[in-house]
Structure 1
Amino acid sequence: MSVLTVERRDQVAIWRMSHPPVNAINGELLQALADEIEKVRLDEAVRAVVITGNGPTFAAGADVMGFLQMGGSLADFQQAGARLFRQIEMHPKPFVAAVNGVAYGGGNELAMACDIRVASKNARFGQPEVNLGIIPAWGGTWRLPDLVGRSVATRLLLTGDPISAEEAWRIGLVDRVVDADVLLDYAINIADRLASLAPRALAELKQLLARRGPESPKAEAEAAARLMTTADAVEGVMAFQQKRRPRFQGR
Structure 2
Amino acid sequence: MIGSTLRNGSLRTGRSFDLGKMDLRQLWIAYLTYPTILLYIALAVASFAMLGRHFPGILPTAVAMGAVIAIYPVAWYLIHRFILHGRFLYRMKWTASLWKRIHFDHHQDPHLLDVLFGSPLNTLPTIALITLPVGYSIGHLGGAAAAMGTGLTVTCIYEFFHCIQHLNYKPRMRWIQKMKQRHVLHHFHHEDGNYGITSFFVDRLFGSYYADARARPRSAHVFNLGYDLQEATLYPWVMDLTGAPPREKPDGAPPQRNAA
TM-score (norm 2): 0.29
TM-score (norm 1): 0.30
Larger strand fraction of residues: 1
Larger helix fraction of residues: 2
Q: Which has the higher contact order (CA 8 A, sep 6+)?
A: 2
